Every structure is written in structure tokens, then in C-alpha cells.
Structure 1
Amino acid sequence: MTRTFPGVRRSAAAVTVAVAMAAGAAPLVLSAPAVATPPAGAESTAAARIVLPAPTGAFAVGRESLHLVDRSRADPWVPGNRRELMVSMFYPAATEAGPPARYLTTAEAQLFIEDRGVGDFVDAATLSGTRSAARESAPPRRGRYPLVVLSPGFTLHRHTQTHLAEELASRGYVVAAIDHAYESSGTTFPGGRTLGCVACDIAAEADATVYPQVSAGRGRDASFVLDRLTGARPAWRHAGLIDRTRIGMVGHSIGGNATGSTMIGDQRVRAGINMDGTFFDPIPAAGLNGRAFMMLGTTEHAPGGRDTSWDQAWTNLDGWKRWLSITGTGHLSFCDTPVLAEQAGIPSGITPISADRTVELVRTYVTAFFDKHLRGTDRPVLDAPTAANPEIVFHQP
């Protein structure tokens, strides 16, 4: 039976912490930067007081949502259902026409707040009203652009990586950000259905098989999304923007592992990034057929560190590769939560560098990687440490 939640999930703080710790995630959101300048037309109300850093590229950003159903595949968590996904398409826009894209539905925001135990600091209306640069259904800018698939961390909504998706779109990429059903604290589907995290319940029962299953399943999800975006009858009306020969993927936490899982089974993905995710589904000894891969994480993900899966992945990667750490970051520094935390007044003191600096570093190295491997543009920042970015540590085990 499908488990849906009208806007309030069960009280499960202990479950949430257990799941987060098992996946290598910090259970609290992190510190963040001062409020950025809102997009043109954004309201200055309490419901819009959280604002993500503006993207730095030359283009305006549009966003549209897709509901995709893979009728050939049963859902791994609720087998009586077909596998369904929500996908946000971020793209270079011709103008900033259109209303600001909504960050989360109120139901999604409420479930996220309950999952993180931060109800004393922020309410669902404020979190849902977080402002970003994207405009809903803005007219696309003409051209053909590389496609980057994005997969979020376990329990996290696809829009918790909005700042990165918008940065890529502003620099001339199309981004497909995927929500994987039953793997986030709550995802709203058409008709108002909000699906809770069935996979979290299974993981909380200490079922060690869950995480490899999540990653491998997300690999199949990503390939299905590519089929629907690049096939003869694409699901997205602006699919003509996509250059089908230039496809990359980036993910955070289990979504980073899913990048590897996708590349194992899908040769269309030319380059991938794992941001601070354990390789529960490992890179095979045969490698990735020479394709580019970057591992970008905290200093806990360093050679000989507690997560030995990164050492093994490095050995097996057989193409262009980089292993980078960002000093002063925590697990959740690679998504939007640091920004949300500081602007909502949530204390943590986990990371010594500010979230605006973390945002800058993540954007710099992710966009440089895709510029190099999907556009053929040399980016020296990927070659060696620089005085401008002393927080970045290059590992060459």
C-alpha cells in the first residue's frame, strides 16, 4: 500500500538521526552566509526571508517540473507501485519572465523540518518560501547545452541542491534534478500526494543492504530519466535544448555513489562527481571505461580515512580523476542546508568556514569539472592547489 502523508509525518527524530548517522550524514543543518540579494520581484515578507546565493553565470535561469513513471519497473520500496520520479529541469533562460520557482511545497517543508528537528527555528511557510533565482517556465534561451543529472542525499529533497543547479544553468547547462520516490523525508507528486521515506524506515532497522540498493536503484532511475529526456518522444517540451552527446552527473552523499552506479551501467554519462558519499555500490575493478570522475568531500574523506571505499574507488578509476577535500566542511556542506540554517537562525557551529565560501568552492570546482569534460575547456583550477583556494586539498595516494 502506498504510504502518503497529507503534510505531517510521524514523529521520528530518533529514526532520522539513526538513518543520517548510518549514511555518514550529520543530522543537523550547518552554518551559512548572510542573506543574498533576492531575485527581481521577490517578496520581502517573512515567508521569503531565506534567500539562496544568486548564481554567477551570464544567463537567467528557468525551471520546470516533470512527473515521470517507469511502467516497466516496480518501485523497490513499495513493490505494488510502478517506479515514479519527480524531476526539476533547470535551464538557461532568455529572460527572467515568470514567477519565482517555489523551493518546496508546504508539506515537503514541514516533513523536512520534522525530520531535522528544527521546528523551534523555522516554520513550513518560511522554508517553503525560500527564494532562489529560478523562474517558473521562463522562456528558454536558444541553443544546445550539455546536460547534468543531479541526485540528492538520502532523506533530502532534490531542491536542497538548488544553488548548484542554478549555478550550472546560469553557465549554460541543462540540469535534471531527480527526486527518488520514498527516499526523501517527503516529496509531493501531482494531485497533492506527498510520499514519505519508506526506505528510511528500512534503513533505521539496521538493514545494511539498503544503501547499496538505494545507489543501484538510483542508477536505474537516472538512466530512465535520460531515456525520457533524449529519446525519440521526449517527456520535456524543451528537450531540444539538450546536447545528447554531452551528459554528466553529480550527486551528494548517496547521490554521489549513485553517480558511480549510473556510470557503471550507462555509457551515455561521460563524466561524474561524488560529493562526500560512501561508495556502498563500489566502482568495479574494471573501472568506468576511461571516463572522468571526481571525488569531492570533507577531510574525513582523505586517503586512509575512515571511509575506505574512497581509497578503493581511487584505485579502480581508470580515466581522468581527482580526489579533493574542502577543509572546514561537514557532510551537509555540499547542499543548500548551510544557507537555510544561518538565515533561519539555527545554531550549529559545525564548520569553521562560512557557507557562502563553501558555496563558492563547490560551484567553482563542480563547474570547472564539467567545463573541462563536457565542453573541452581547460580549467587550471583542477590541476593543482591554488593560493586563491587554500581550503582545497589535492590527494594523490
Structure 2
Amino acid sequence: MALAVGIAGTTLMAENRIDTQLPSAPELAAYGDLPVGVRQLDMVNPGQIDILAIDPAAPKPDPMPTYDRPLTVEMWYPAADGASGDTTLKAFLRDGTTEVTLQGTAVRDAAPAAPDNAYPLVLISHGYPGNRFLLSHLAENIASKGYVVASIDHTDSTYRTQAAFGSTLVNRSLDQLFVLEEMAKMAADGGNFAGLYDANNTGLIGYSMGGYGAIITAGGGVTEASVGYPWGGPHGTLGIHQAGSDTHENLPDARIKTAVAFGPWGMNTGFWDAAGLSGIRIPMFFIAGSQDDVSLYESGVRAIWENASNLPHALLTYVNGGHNSGAPMPAPKESFYFSEEKGFNISEHYTDPVWNTARMNNIAQHFVTAWMDQHLKGDEDKGTYLDLVENSNEGVWSVNDDGTEKDDHSHWKGFAKGTAKGLQYEVKSVE
């Protein structure tokens, strides 16, 4: 009997699950009551500047070369009751060659629900490189709570299409807004998704370069110096996002009400300054590790938060966490090998040296749920999960025998006794 249990346990552990809920998971990390469907969407954005066709060392082309830019989107959504079928996802690893199977709860191509009221829409934008499945744990989780989620494969930024960085710098925000427009059209065309979601009530989640794009989409403009970087957008093509330019002033879309940025990149390399960040027009929630060695922390993500516009922006910090804090799914088992070509163990793309990935994911699911419910659903009760003492270690557990809280109880709401450790939550003062 013990042998059988051991074999079964080994089989279970071998699955690449994206839906893990640890015993220590905070309250709002739990999956919602709605069944979830998932499907692939293929989109094409016509007439975009072809950054890869521009030679930075040659004279500036006139006119600029253009192409029809393909984008693949994975859509998670509340499904009709009784949905059943394939609940796996096929995704490529960071090495760009190994395809793996991920296991969740969403049913492939399930019929969508028919809600009385349309759900909010959330866009997800991965890092460089990444893919549309990197934050699949979060996409599936919030879909079960009444959101439609569109996660983007950014061309020239995926594991299999990684190309010149200038393409990512110029196209990231444009991709986000194009997918928003396509999703809006799809909801309005009277087809299967009519009435399922409201594109006029949209949130945006970005990780690393996705967070960079989210800042631009939210109204943050890049610096003049970054437009001229020789390794950036060739021949000033990034100028469309420069703070104060007409093109950037016209970029933000009022349909996007809030954004979450995990480890947003750019402050560490001079893409942001206080003037550009003052242009952010929506409340933003920043999530970072205090030991982020990619976007940096004090002079990186924290500096972005401190210099953001005069709105109620929040910052969640995983103390001693790195760049992967909260965003990437757990490392697939096939990623635990050293790649001679890449020069590192592929699993490092997903893991953190200090924090357990599933625990980081559960914490992110909890906080993103509270933030999005408050800002997109108007659920002010969820704001009580964001009214916290700044340092989680200083929270006091003090309850009566019947479970009611005493006056001196300041333990983080939604976290079981002793499980809120190693975190900081701060809200920028609004003057």
C-alpha cells in the first residue's frame, strides 16, 4: 500500500501544474466558482513599422518599411456549466526548442458562459523573452473569478522568435492596445463572445518588458536619451513613446482602467524619469523582488513607483526575491537542465533562489484578485485586503477564542496565522 501511494505521489509530482494551491496560500488565491475555458486566437496588425528590416548603421529609410505583424493570443474565460475535455496546454521552454505539456483546469475550446453582466477584460504581456503561457497560473486563476483574460505572444519577443530588442521597445505597448481593440471588436460582432466581456472595462498585467509596455500604455513616456540609444529603436523609432510627444499623448486608451506591473524594466537603463512617469493616468500596482538583478529594485522598480504620477499606486515587495518574483509559472520539469547554448540552467528562467515559485504565485494571485476586483468590479470590500501594515513581519495575530479579531490585531488580512512573512506592501501617498 505504501509503495502504491509513493508511486502515485511521484506521478502527481511529475505533472507541470499551473494551478497549485499550497496550504499556505492566502485567501483570495483560491480558485473561483466558475469553470474556465481556453482557446487560441490569431491576430494580424497591418501596416506596422518593420523594425527588423531597418539597418541602424545605414541611412534612415524613407519611407520606413512596414509589414503585417502577427500576434498569437491565448484567451482564458468563464465557461458554460458542464464544460469538459482537454485541460492541457502546449508551451515551449526558455530554450526555444523544447515543447512541454502544462496541466491546469481550463477546458480547451469550451463554450463560453452567458453571464447576466459582462465580465471585465484583462490583458497579459510577458517579458523578453517569454510567451503567452508564462503567467498562465494567474490567467486561469482570475478567469475562474469572473474575468476574461487575453495573454499575448509578442512577436520578436518569444522564446522562438526572439530578435532585435528595438522591436520589443517600440512594439510592446502597440501590441497591447491592438489586442485590446481586436478583443473589443470580437465582443461586439454578435458572435460566441458577445456579452461575455466588456472591453471598456479593461485591466493590464505586464511582466518585465510587459511591465515596461504597461507603463507606456498607462501614459508614462520614455526619455529623450533612451530614444537615441544605438542599441534601442533604430533611427528614432522609439520617439513615438517619448514623453511630451503628440504620438505618446494620444496613445493611452480610456478603456484601460488599471495596470499591474511585475518587475517592470527600464528605470535601470534610463528609459524613465520623474517627468515621464508623471504622465501615468491610471492607478498601478507594482510587484517586485528586493534583489531584482534585471530591472533592479531601489534604483529600478521602487524608483518607478516613487516617481509615478499623483495617483494611489501600490508596491508589493517579496523581500530577498529576484526578478522572477510572483510572475512566472512553476518551472516545468523538462527545464531542469543546463543548456550549453544558453549558458545557464533553463529552470532559472522560472525559479527564485530564495522563494518557492508556487508560494509566490499564490501571493500574486491573492493581491491581483484584490486589486482588480476593487478597480474593475468596484468591490470596495476587497480594498480591506489592501489596508495593511507595511511590513508583514510586524503584523500581530490577536484574536478571541471565537475567532473575532481584537483591537490590536494587525496580521495581514487573508493570510493564515504565521503565513504572512517576508513581504512589504506600500501605497504611494496622494497629495
| Aligned residue number for residue 382 of structure 1 | 386
Q: TM-score, normalization: structure 2?
A: 0.66
Structure 2 gaps of 5+ residues are 1-7, 21-29, 54-64, 220-251, 338-344, 390-410
SS at match of 1:154: coil
| Aligned residue number for residue 283 of structure 2 | 292
CA distance in 2, matches of 1:173, 1:49: 26
Instruction: Report matched runs for 1:12-91 at 5 Å.
Output: 49-54=15-20, 56-78=31-53, 81-91=67-77
Match of 1:180 among 154, 162, 171: 154
1:282 matches 2:247:
no
Match of 1:134 among 106, 128, 133: 106
Structure 1 gaps of 5+ residues are 1-36, 39-43, 116-123, 187-195, 204-209
| Aligned residue number for residue 189 of structure 1 | none
1:113 matches 2:95:
yes
- Report the more deviating stretch, 223-232 or 357-366: 223-232
Q: Deviations over 1:248-288 (max 9, x none)?
A: 10111111111111122222211001101223553725432
CA distance in 1, matches of 2:34, 2:301: 38
CA distance in 1, matches of 2:177, 2:272: 18
| Aligned residue number for residue 263 of structure 1 | 218
Q: Deviations over 1:276-323 (max 9, x none)?
A: 12235537254323x211111101369x94534642443232222111
Following superposition, the deviation at residue 215 of structure 1 comes to 4.2
| Aligned residue number for residue 162 of structure 2 | 197
Following superposition, the deviation at residue 221 of structure 1 comes to 0.8
**Corresponding letter in the other structure for 1:128:** V
CA distance in 2, matches of 1:56, 1:328: 27
**Corresponding letter in the other structure for 2:67:** N
Instruction: Report matched runs for 1:231-250 at 5 Å.
Output: 231=185, 234=189, 237-250=192-205
1:392 matches 2:423:
yes
**Corresponding letter in the other structure for 1:217:** N
Following superposition, the deviation at residue 87 of structure 1 comes to 0.6
Following superposition, the deviation at residue 169 of structure 1 comes to 0.2
SS at match of 2:175: helix
SS at match of 2:38: strand
Could you say which structure has the larger radius of gyration? 2
CA distance in 2, matches of 1:322, 1:69: 35
CA distance in 1, matches of 2:110, 2:288: 34
- The answer to whether the Cα contact below 8 Å between 2:291 and 2:297 also exists between their aligned partners in 1 is yes
- The answer to whether the Cα contact below 8 Å between 1:216 and 1:261 also exists between their aligned partners in 2 is no
| Aligned residue number for residue 260 of structure 2 | 273
Following superposition, the deviation at residue 329 of structure 1 comes to 2.6
CA distance in 1, matches of 2:367, 2:352: 22
- The answer to whether the Cα contact below 8 Å between 1:216 and 1:262 also exists between their aligned partners in 2 is no
SS at match of 2:41: strand
Following superposition, the deviation at residue 235 of structure 1 comes to 10
1:326 matches 2:318:
yes
Q: Deviations over 1:336-389 (max 9, x none)?
A: 443425996887684333222111101011111101100111222212134432
- The answer to whether the Cα contact below 8 Å between 2:49 and 2:67 also exists between their aligned partners in 1 is yes
**Corresponding letter in the other structure for 2:209:** I
**Corresponding letter in the other structure for 1:298:** G
- The answer to whether the Cα contact below 8 Å between 2:75 and 2:148 also exists between their aligned partners in 1 is yes
**Corresponding letter in the other structure for 1:220:** L
Following superposition, the deviation at residue 240 of structure 1 comes to 2.7
Q: TM-score, normalization: structure 1?
A: 0.71
CA distance in 2, matches of 1:332, 1:384: 24
SS at match of 2:19: coil
CA RMSD across the alignment: 3.2
SS at match of 2:388: coil
Following superposition, the deviation at residue 72 of structure 1 comes to 3.0
1:359 matches 2:361:
yes
Q: Deviations over 1:3-53 (max 9, x none)?
A: xxxxxxxxxxxxxxxxxxxxxxxxxxxxxxxxxx99xxxxx799x732222
CA distance in 2, matches of 1:340, 1:381: 31
| Aligned residue number for residue 26 of structure 1 | none
- Report the more deviating stretch, 151-160 or 315-324: 315-324
Query: CA 1:135–1:285 in structure 2 vs 1: closer, same or farther (change >3 Å)?
Result: closer
**Corresponding letter in the other structure for 1:214:** T
**Corresponding letter in the other structure for 1:300:** Q
| Aligned positions, number | 319
CA distance in 2, matches of 1:329, 1:131: 26
| Aligned residue number for residue 223 of structure 2 | none
**Corresponding letter in the other structure for 1:91:** Y
- The answer to whether the Cα contact below 8 Å between 1:279 and 1:310 also exists between their aligned partners in 2 is no
| Aligned residue number for residue 145 of structure 1 | 119
- Report the more deviating stretch, 56-65 or 345-354: 345-354
| Aligned residue number for residue 120 of structure 1 | none
